[in-house]
Chains A and B, each alone.
Chain A
Amino acid sequence: MKSFLIRPALALALAAGLAGCGGSDKAEFTVGGTIYTLAYPGLQLSTNGTTIDVAPPAKAGDPVKFAFPNKLEYGDEYNVQIVKQPAHQRCDLASSYPTNADTAGRLALIDVQYSCVINTFTIGGTISGLTVAGLVLTNGSTGGTVTPAKDATSYVFSLPVAYNQTYGVTVLTQPAGLTCSVANPTNTMGDANVTNINVSCVPNR
């Protein structure tokens, strides 16, 4: 009678002990990370066959956390790649370490870090009639100046303009004996270099 009760109890204990070693307790790793200064939607990241969208933060300027839904096992390799850049921005690894590609389990926490910058584009245009040197163009107070040489037929400001920033090109100094005017001098920067801020110079009367 007694042994009849002990045997199932032992079997039960054994089963419970085995379950403790089973798959459900195996270490799992989440590939995640942080993205700094993300401001626009569209960013897509991928690793191990899964792609996720990362939206900008609710409060501008806050860092964004991301995590891939597929868990990795100890020893699995991951390689986080940017599938698509966000609109108007470019994101890159914030530093060479922690890296975007490693083996799960080597670090206690997988936290791949990216930082994003607003895309910038150059502004410039054509020049006609600049028969002497001395013309100085300025893009406001912070956009820098450009001094095209005599007989130049085009110019580009060395300082680029960020997406969604305004620019306004005006003549800071007229060349001797000429009056130069600027066409299409102002706008808000889009997603391409601006090449239509054309300058034409005519002799003074």
Chain B
Amino acid sequence: MKSSYLRAGAALACAAALSACGGSSGELLLGGVYSGVTKAGLVLTNGDGNRLEIPPVAGGNGTGNFYFNELVGTDDEYDVKVAGTPDNVSGCEVVNGKGRAAFNITSVQVLCTFKKHALKGSVANLKGDGLELVNGSDRVVVPAGATEFTLAEVPEDAAYGVAVLKQPSSGQTCTVANGSGTMGKNDITNVAITCAP
């Protein structure tokens, strides 16, 4: 009788001791930086275990720091993987994601690449050379007689704004219609340049 109590007690103590060594216990941070996150959807895992959802920072530039909520133990192996991506990126790459913990890990990089779409439109009645259009720091020269133009591709969900940097040498004045907007899931093709007279 006594020995069976003892045995049960010993088993209990043993279980308690073992559970203390379980997955969530640790003392080291696991994290780093991310970029290209302007929408919810990025999910990271450490191996097949701990899971972390990274929400976008409102008004931010898509970059930030992340740390898994669960700490990792000294000498534990870690392997940060991407389990889900926001729908406006073509993919997310993990750099320095794998190793064995010896101290706080802050060097993991998760780099997401935005999907990009074309920004182009039509040109009407352009009789001279020298017309230059810009979308911020991106510039395109449009020759006489052109009927269309193409600017650099724009990341999905980013704003764009096409404006005339230089009017053509023909003395004409060209104006932009539908010049501003936010890039959706498809190419923008409706920017219209009309030159007069």
Contact = CB atoms under 8 A, between A and B. Distances in A.
Interface in B135-184: 135-139, 152, 154-155, 158-165, 179-183
A16 interface: no
Contacts of A165: 137
A92 B7 CA distance: 72
Contact of B137 (A142, A169, A171): A142
A103 interface: no
Nearest to B153: A141
A60 to B, nearest CB: 18
B105 interface: no
A138 B162 CA distance: 10
A70 to B, nearest CB: 43
Which of A141, A161, A166, A171 is most buried by chain B, counting CB atoms within 10 A of its CB? A141
A168 interface: yes
Contacts of B152: 141
Interface string B24-35: 000000000000
Nearest to B166: A186
A101 to B, nearest CB: 33
Contact of B136 (A136, A167, A171): A167
Nearest to A164: B137
B137 A170 contact: no
Interface in A100-140: 136, 138-140
Given A186-B134, A187-B165, A166 B159 contact: no
A161 B180 contact: no
B134 A138 contact: no
17 contacts: A138-B180, A139-B136, A140-B134, A140-B136, A141-B138, A141-B155, A141-B161, A141-B183, A142-B136, A166-B136, A166-B137, A166-B165, A167-B136, A170-B161, A171-B180, A185-B163, A186-B164
Contacts of A171: 161, 180
A188 B159 CA distance: 20
A166 B181 contact: no
Given A139-B136, A168-B135, A171-B180, 10 more contacts: A138-B160, A139-B161, A140-B137, A140-B160, A142-B137, A143-B136, A170-B161, A172-B181, A185-B163, A186-B163
